[in-house]
Structure 1
Amino acid sequence: MITRDAFRGSTTDELRYVDKTFTYQGTLNVPEQVLKLRLDFSMWRHENLYLPFCIKTIKGYLEKRRNQVNRKEKPRVRLIQKANTDSGGSLVSCLASGFYPCHINLTLFKDGQPVSDHEITGGDLLPNGDGTYQMRKSLEISAEEQSEKHNYTCSATHLRLDNKMDVSLEYPGEPFKSVISSVFVVLALVLVFGTVIAIITWKRRHAVSFLASDEHVDATP
């Protein structure tokens, strides 16, 4: 428990009561005897009023919110890549959302090696509207690095997960190439099936026309 007094925007004194240890830091210009009486009273107030009331309040809250506090929600983890038009590079982000309790460990890997903390941006724990939490860690990739082949992975550990969750991202540009290849395959299949259907339709029409012409010849005297 920490109690601070301030005057004109500056802290004048601070009282700390942690694990039944009472400490004081301040700049009050008062006689030592007066200060001692004040500290003794503050200590008694913390031990006999503030601390019991605080514990009682927290216990009551935990009892009322037992189902919410004791629930465990599995995180949804995604590894996404967005282009950075200013630098010509991209931003790889590991996003975990919807997890509870709030303790989670997210680690970004590049080619199997953990990325150092000074290269990572984000990492703040943020609340969701449904009472769960989210966290994002990002890595800036330069335009030069994009031309190289690197594998990016996000690893998440959480109380709700039996094992750590690994989500991978291919090196920049590879997903786009995969999409283009898939589109060409689909177009090729459509072209083949369309050609087969056109040939079958043409043959059927040709056969019907041939039979009709034969019937006309047979009916002529």
Structure 2
Amino acid sequence: HFWITLYSPFPKFGITYMLDDIIIGYYDSERKLHLVRGNTTEDDDTFVVVQLAWSLNEHSLSSSLTGLDVHQILIHCEMLDNMESGQITAKGATGGSTVVELHFLNRKTTFSSSFHTKTVQPVLRLLQYHYENFYYSLCMETLKGYLKKRGNQVNRKVKPRVRLIQKANSDSGGFRVSCLATGFYPRHINLTLFRDKQSVADHEITGGDLLPNADGTYQMRKSLEIRAADKHKYTCSATHLSLDNKLDVTLGN
């Protein structure tokens, strides 16, 4: 994934580029500063990535727009499981809303825009030419290179640490039961609270947001308010790619 954002008073042109959810690096146009993050080697294709992003900015989907102080571009290249090249997607946004979107695959382009068709047609023809002859192959080769160097990072599996916690709630006089899973990778996890072997209804649950940890793993917490006299049995269940079977933790165990 390549996030390209332009805004003031920050750098006129800034790039954050990622492999899946791992930040590979950052480029600052004001200081001409390029920072590489994570496990990397001196032969990383950082120059290629910066040149790609800069070229895409110069011929961006939003280049037909004028008078914008802020705009963002997302360029997303996909590699299929068999290492075949997939789709490349480019989106242009202003004011937090997508205004132009392009998809390119098998030398075919699909395009949508909130602007009048005649306004963007010249830009679309130019973009299709560049995607067919330069951007698509360059983006895919760059992605293959990073997958070769960083494959162990993006394909790693780290088991979650799961706890079920009960704390007194002074406001209600009851308790808050919280199911916490942390330290897991990849990011997808199924976390469920059970009451007497029946899943608790979603409208009773608070939380559930996926949050990042400083070490590149993730955490999720789901909570439930219960009465002081509650005698039900509560269980937290987690399923994750790193686990052979689901992991159950019962309150009090």
Quote the Cα distance in structure 2 between the aligned partners of 1:89 and 1:96: 23
Give distance in 2, aligned partners of 1:74 and 1:11.
37
Q: Following TM superposition, by how much is the alpha carbon of 1:169 offset from its aligned partner in structure 2, in angstroms? A: 1.0
Give the Cα–Cα distance (whole angstroms) in 2 for the partners of residues 75 and 27 of structure 1. 46
CA-based RMSD of the aligned residues comes to 2.5
In terms of Rg, which structure is larger?
1
* Runs of 4+ residues deviating >4 angstroms: 18-21
**Any stretches of 5+ residues in structure 1 without a counterpart?**
176-221
Contact 1:103 1:158 in 2 (8 A): yes
TM-score by length of 2: 0.57
Q: Unaligned stretches of 5+ in structure 2?
A: 1-88
SS at match of 2:214: coil
Aligned to 2:92: 4
1:126 matches 2:214: no
- Structure 2 counterpart of 1:97, from 157, 171, 182: 182
How many angstroms apart in 1 are the aligned matches of 2:195 and 2:96? 46
For residue 10 of structure 1, report the CA deviation from its aligned partner: 7.3
Q: Which has the higher strand share?
A: 2
1:102–1:133: 8 Å Cα contact kept in structure 2?
yes
Choose which of 135, 140, 148 in structure 2 pairs with 1:55: 140
Q: How far does residue 102 in structure 1 lie from its aligned partner after superposition?
A: 1.7
Q: How does 1:31-180 map to 2 (within 5 A)?
A: 32=118, 35-141=120-226, 145-170=227-252
Comparing both structures, which one devotes a greater share of its residues to helix? Answer: 1
TM-score (norm 1): 0.64
Matched length: 163
Name the % identity: 60
- 2 CA distance for matches of 1:105 and 1:87? 29
CA distance in 2, matches of 1:12, 1:122: 28
Distance apart, 1:49 and its partner CA: 3.4
Which residue identity lines up with residue 24 of structure 1 in the other structure?
S
Change (3 A) 1:102 1:88: same
Number of the residue aligned with 1:24: 112
